[in-house]
Structure 1
Amino acid sequence: MTYAVDRVWEELAYVAYYLHWDLDKILDLEHPVRNRVIGEIGKIHTRFTDES
């Protein structure tokens, strides 16, 4: 199974923006782990947005 290149770049940018991780660190994550990190970032972002 291949993963869309554009989608990978979206995930990289999202994690890099919120966690300030470098590209190599993000790419080292297995896909399910990266998706989990993205989900958790989204929950935190939503919670902070709702509180302000």
Structure 2
Amino acid sequence: MRQEVAYIAYHFHWSYDQVMAMEHRERQQWVAEVAQINQRLNDQTNQLRK
């Protein structure tokens, strides 16, 4: 759970209390969304380097 909270708080600048107020499932969904955003950005960066 600490990794979920840290990941979400870091990327969205949400407070610990905001993240902890979510249900576990909702936190997992936000983690997945952030991961997808990061993947797209990494893919775009890699394409530009080619």
- Structures share fold, TM-score greater than 0.5: yes
Q: Percent identity?
A: 33
Q: CA RMSD in A?
A: 0.5
User: Match for residue 36 of structure 1?
Assistant: 29
Instruction: Write out aligned runs for 1:7-46 (5 A).
Output: 8-46=1-39
Structure 1 distance, partners of 2:4, 2:16, is 11
**Residues of 1 paired with 2:40 and 2:21: CA distance?**
28
Q: Counterpart amino acid of 2:19?
A: I
After TM superposition, where is structure 1 displaced by more than 3 Å over at least 4 residues in a row?
none
List gaps (5 residues or longer) in structure 1: 1-7
Greater radius of gyration (CA)? 2
1:47 pairs with one of 18, 26, 40: 40
What count of residue pairs does the alignment treat as equivalent?
45
Higher helix share: 2
